[in-house]
């Protein structure tokens, strides 16, 4: 901290122990020691000293409190880091599959890769008896829904002969 900040904290100490006469040498020593500290640490340490020591404190008292404050700060920092880690983990985006470009691309390829090779049949119940009714396409001699067609083609390694039959 600056010399001025140190003087401010020293004045605080003197105000806390009004009956103690402080010599110039002692004052200089305190100002030197305080100036070595970060201001927030020094201020907290001085306040701790004032709260815990009845008579004018020694520099050793200040040193003890500085250690206590530093340890508290260390723990607070660790705690904050842990919290930040937890937050970062919670906020890690977990987009639905349809928002992941690679997946969308893959699904598109599947759909486009299968559909044009098959002849569209009349709408009706899927003859693979999956229970779906609606759009169908010819797969060999059966009319199946797109889902069953895709399933069969995948099972067949997507090999289709010239008749449009799944090999
Ligand atoms: Zn089906």
Q: How far is the CA of 138 from the centre of ligand 1 (A)?
A: 12
| Chosen domain end from 41, 57, 90 | 90
**d(C-alpha 24, C-alpha 15), whole Å:** 16
**d(C-alpha 134, C-alpha 23), whole Å:** 99
Q: How far is the CA of 96 from the centre of ligand 1 (A)?
A: 26
Judge if 102 and 81 occupy the same domain.
no
Q: How far is the CA of 133 from the centre of ligand 1 (A)?
A: 8
Judge if 8 and 73 occupy the same domain.
yes
Judge if 76 and 9 occupy the same domain.
yes
Q: How far is the CA of 136 from the centre of ligand 1 (A)?
A: 8
Structural domain total, the chain: 2
Q: Is residue 162 part of a domain?
A: no
Which range has the worst mean pLDDT, 1-15, 16-30, 125-139, 151-165?
151-165
For 81-114, how does the pLDDT look when each residue is reduced to its tens digit (9 = 90+)? 888 888 777 777 666 766 777 777 776 666 644 4
Q: How far is the CA of 158 from the centre of ligand 1 (A)?
A: 17
Burial (Cβ within 10 Å: 0-12, 13-18, ≥19) of residue 143: buried
Query: Cα dihedral sign for 148, 150, 154, 156?
Result: positive
Q: How far is the CA of 64 from the centre of ligand 1 (A)?
A: 78
- Mean pLDDT for all residues in the chain: 83
Contact 43, 11 (CB under 8 A): no
Query: Cα dihedral sign for 129, 133, 166, 114?
Result: negative
Question: What is the arithmetic mean of pLDDT over 151-160?
Answer: 66
Q: How far is the CA of 111 from the centre of ligand 1 (A)?
A: 15
Q: How far is the CA of 131 from the centre of ligand 1 (A)?
A: 7
pLDDT attached to residue 156: 66
Q: How far is the CA of 99 from the centre of ligand 1 (A)?
A: 27
| Chosen domain end from 69, 90, 111 | 90
Q: Is residue 132 part of a domain?
A: yes
112 lies in which domain range?
A: 97-155
Judge if 58 and 107 occupy the same domain.
no
DSSP per-residue codes, 6-38: HHHHHHHHHHHSTT----HHHHHHHHHHHHTS-
Judge if 19 and 73 occupy the same domain.
yes
**CB-based burial, 29-42: b 16+ in 10 Å, e otherwise:** ebeebbbebeeebb
């Amino acid at each position: 901290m600056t010399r001025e900040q140190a003087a401010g904290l020293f004045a605080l100490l003197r105000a806390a122990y009004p009956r103690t006469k402080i010599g110039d040498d002692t004052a200089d020593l305190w100002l030197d020691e305080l100036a070595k500290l970060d201001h927030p640490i020094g201020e907290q340490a001085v306040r701790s000293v004032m709260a815990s020591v009845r008579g004018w404190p020694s520099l050793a008292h200040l040193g003890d409190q500085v250690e206590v404050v530093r340890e508290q700060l260390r723990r607070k920092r660790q705690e904050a880091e842990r919290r930040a880690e937890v937050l970062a983990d919670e906020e890690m985006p977990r987009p639905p599959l349809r928002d992941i470009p690679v997946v969308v691309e893959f699904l598109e390829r599947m759909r486009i890769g299968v559909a044009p090779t098959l002849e569209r049949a009349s709408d009706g119940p899927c003859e693979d008896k999956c229970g779906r009714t609606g759009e169908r396409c010819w797969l060999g001699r059966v009319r199946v829904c797109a889902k069953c067609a895709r399933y069969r083609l995948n099972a067949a390694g997507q090999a289709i002969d010239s008749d449009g039959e799944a090999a």
